[in-house]
Structure 1
Amino acid sequence: MSAEADPITSEHFSRALKDLPLSSLYAKASELRNSMAHLQSSNEQLREFAEAGDRDCFEAIQENEEVLQRMEMRILLVRNEVEARGLVWSEHGSGDVTANGASEAKVEGPETTEAATAEGGQSGGHLSDEELRRRLAESMEENGDDGGVHL
């Protein structure tokens, strides 16, 4: 662990989550999962050397395990915040899930935002490929697509 700074406490982390939008909560959980995957991969690579007696590698693995536990706790705190808002936690968090379990996918255009409720109670909030194609085609027709690139 760095001698320069202690990690943020669980209490401070939990408090900071309260002001974040749902998409940021899921982004944070995804970021944590990605970091955990990298740490686990590092541990696998270090394990061979630690087992051969390399003390530095052994200590690095121990430190990584502590960090992994903190990250797992933070994911739990993110989940608790999502559920405290009356929503259902989705590990992949790709859409807004309401308290009744219906999911919504946000489709944003240049001037409007519309929410589409997924059919059949799909969790995750993804539009089907066909629905996405249809909406893009409609949007292009409405905007008078002239084939140019607009910056």
Structure 2
Amino acid sequence: MSAESQPISPIAYAEAITELPLESLHAEAAKLHNDINKLLESNAALEAEKAVETEEGVKFLDEVIVENEGVVKSKEERIGLLKVEVEKRGQVWIEPGKKDEEVQAPVVNGAGHGAAEQENAGGQDADDGVYL
């Protein structure tokens, strides 16, 4: 990697993300998570390719895999910095890639997941109207 294409340092990255809106922080984390997944998939494919390579080819693939692992660690570090920034703003961090059912819904006015079921337990249909 040439000196001109070096990634931004973690310190500079942490300073730069303080200027971003919350939505951009989450979008950046999702992008980094996607990048990590692609690098891991690439490494798995490279590992499989080693079975049919020459000794020199295997050595080259090993170097590429190690470089990819370094990039993964760097991207994971950036996700950690994004998490710190989000939490510093008093917001809840949602890990990129989590499915909706893995993320707990917030409790509002003391009502959690079971509140709607309890209200409907009296036999009233939810479409009957609004009750105060």
TM-score by length of 1: 0.59
For residues 16 and 84 of structure 2, the distance between their equivalents in structure 1, rounded to whole angstroms, comes to: 13
Following TM superposition, by how much is the alpha carbon of 1:55 offset from its aligned partner in structure 2, in angstroms?
1.4
* Residue identity opposite 1:56 in structure 2: F
Query: Counterparts of 1:67-106 in structure 2 under 5 Å?
Result: 67-92=71-96, 102=106
Q: Which of the pair has more CA radius of gyration?
A: 2
Confirm or deny that 1:31 pairs with 2:36: no
* Residue identity opposite 1:17 in structure 2: I
In structure 2, the gaps of 5 or more residues are 98-104, 114-132
For residues 20 and 86 of structure 2, the distance between their equivalents in structure 1, rounded to whole angstroms, comes to: 10
For residues 11 and 39 of structure 2, the distance between their equivalents in structure 1, rounded to whole angstroms, comes to: 24
Give CA-to-partner distance per residue, 1:47-78, whole Å, 9 cap, x none.
13346531111100000000000000000000
Structure 1 vs Structure 2 CA RMSD: 2.6
Alpha carbons 2:33, 2:96 under 8 Å: kept:
no
Residue 49 of structure 1 aligns to a residue in which SS? helix
2:13 equivalent in structure 1: 13
2:64 equivalent in structure 1: 60
Residue 18 of structure 1 aligns to a residue in which SS? helix
For residues 48 and 84 of structure 2, the distance between their equivalents in structure 1, rounded to whole angstroms, comes to: 37
When residues 79 and 42 of structure 1 are mapped into structure 2, their CA distance, relative to the original with a 3 A threshold, is same
1:40 equivalent in structure 2: 40
When residues 29 and 55 of structure 1 are mapped into structure 2, their CA distance, relative to the original with a 3 A threshold, is same
Q: Percent identity?
A: 37
Alpha carbons 2:25, 2:82 under 8 Å: kept:
yes
TM-score by length of 2: 0.67
* Residue identity opposite 1:16 in structure 2: A
Tell me which protein shows more helix as a share of its residues. Answer: 2
2:49 equivalent in structure 1: 49
* Residue identity opposite 2:29 in structure 1: A
Tell me the number of residue pairs that the alignment of Structure 1 and Structure 2 aligns: 101
Residue 38 of structure 2 aligns to a residue in which SS? helix
Alpha carbons 2:86, 2:93 under 8 Å: kept:
yes
